[in-house]
């Protein structure tokens, strides 16, 4: 767990074992293990020798951003799963800018913007993501995304323990992706917003919440949108057209409310979900010629691109 920093984004003082995130409520086991050494609790002498050894000992490392686009196979072995601690959950205002830690929930940050009469984050009020995960995936909805408002990103390098401020143009945010280094953890970001009447901002937020409540299976365990939308079309429409809506593998099923969501019912495993994802890809490709690109990221040895 990346512990508790101050707002300067200094490296946290220790690491520890954390259970990794997986497809919501699907059964899995992750082997993060205990760190091979103890780190000093002193804030004045922060040493990253222990975390570096942890990372070197693992065959790979991943950090868990709180965004519903991550899943792990039924068993994950040989890696570290890191998660930003509560010390990264904060925000501060400077004029029309908001700076926040990577663990700050995107809906909460949208609420902070509303409180200050700042517009531009209304799209994020119903996206269940941390700011760090939202930046890495360039989360968006309702015609807006982080790319529209991001000014800079603070990235912690797992390989050397350094923190670097990356300007927006270098971060390379585009549709559901970024150009940030794979071994970089988004520990904070700054967005630049615009002044607007709070009543207008609130109305747009209420509209976004209602649309999601009406169209998506929010009350059921899922990881959000499974596939990216092909240019000029929608993955949900293609899946429904191919007959994938309601399709089931084990206890995992394509939602009957929104075809680009897979619901993990009681007893579902990540293997059920993965098999279903591949079956849907095959259905759509056979019906329309589109090979749907997954929006979900897998943790472990499996690769959705390998079919």
Nearest to 49 by CA among 88, 6, 13: 13
Q: How confident is the model at residue 274 (pLDDT cuts 50, 70, 90)?
A: very high
CA-to-CA distance for 173 and 82, rounded, in angstroms? 23
pLDDT tens, residue by residue, 114-150: 999 999 999 999 999 999 999 999 999 999 999 999 9
Q: Are 194 and 116 in contact (CB under 8 A)?
A: no
Domain spans, the chain? 88-201, 217-298
Residue partners of 276: CB distance under 8 A and separation at least 6 = 247, 248, 249, 252, 253, 254, 262
Predicted local distance difference test score (pLDDT) of residue 297: 81
Assign a CATH topology to domain 88-201: 3.30.465
| Domain 217-298 sits in CATH 3.50.50.60 | no
Note the pTM of the prediction, 2 decimals: 0.76
Nearest to 156 by CA among 83, 236, 263: 83
Kindly list the catalytic residues: 176, 225, 295
The CA-based angle 265-271-272, given to 5 degrees, is 40
What sign does the CA torsion over 5, 11, 12, 15 have? positive
pLDDT tens, residue by residue, 211-225: 999 999 999 999 889
Identical fold between 88-201 and 217-298: no
Nearest to 93 by CA among 80, 81, 111: 111
Using alpha carbons, list the distances in angstroms from residue 185 to 25, 34, 163, 164: 25, 21, 9, 10
Q: For the chain, state the CA radius of gyration.
A: 20
Instruction: Indicate if the pLDDT at residue 22 is higher than 80.
Output: no
Instruction: Indicate if the pLDDT at residue 63 is higher than 60.
Output: no
């Amino acid at each position: 767990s990346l512990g508790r920093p101050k707002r300067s984004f200094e490296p946290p003082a220790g690491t520890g074992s954390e259970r990794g995130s997986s497809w919501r409520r699907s059964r899995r086991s992750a082997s993060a293990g205990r760190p091979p050494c103890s780190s000093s609790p002193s804030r004045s002498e922060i040493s990253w020798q222990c975390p570096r050894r942890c990372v070197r000992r693992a065959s790979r490392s991943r950090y868990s951003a709180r965004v519903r686009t991550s899943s792990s196979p039924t068993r994950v072995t040989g890696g570290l799963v890191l998660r930003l601690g509560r010390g990264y959950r904060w925000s501060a205002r400077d004029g029309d800018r908001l700076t926040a830690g990577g663990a700050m929930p995107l809906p909460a940050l949208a609420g902070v913007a509303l409180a200050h009469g700042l517009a531009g984050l209304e799209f994020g009020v119903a996206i269940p993501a941390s700011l760090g995960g939202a930046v890495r995936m360039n989360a968006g909805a309702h015609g807006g995304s982080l790319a529209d408002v991001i000014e800079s990103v603070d990235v912690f390098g797992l390989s050397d323990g350094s923190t670097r401020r990356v300007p927006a143009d270098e971060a390379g945010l585009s549709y559901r992706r970024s150009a940030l280094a794979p071994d970089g953890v988004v520990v904070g970001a700054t967005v630049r917003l615009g002044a607007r009447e709070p009543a207008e901002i609130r109305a747009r937020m209420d509209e976004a919440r209602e649309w999601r409540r009406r169209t998506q299976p929010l009350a059921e365990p899922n990881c959000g949108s499974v596939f990216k939308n092909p240019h000029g079309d929608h993955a949900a429409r293609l899946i429904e057209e191919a007959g994938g809506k309601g399709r089931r593998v084990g206890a995992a099923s394509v939602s009957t409310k929104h075809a680009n969501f897979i619901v993990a019912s009681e007893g579902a495993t990540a293997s059920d979900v993965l098999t279903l994802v591949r079956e849907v890809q095959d259905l759509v490709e056979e019906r329309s010629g589109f090979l749907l690109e997954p929006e979900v990221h897998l943790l472990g040895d499996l690769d959705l691109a390998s079919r």
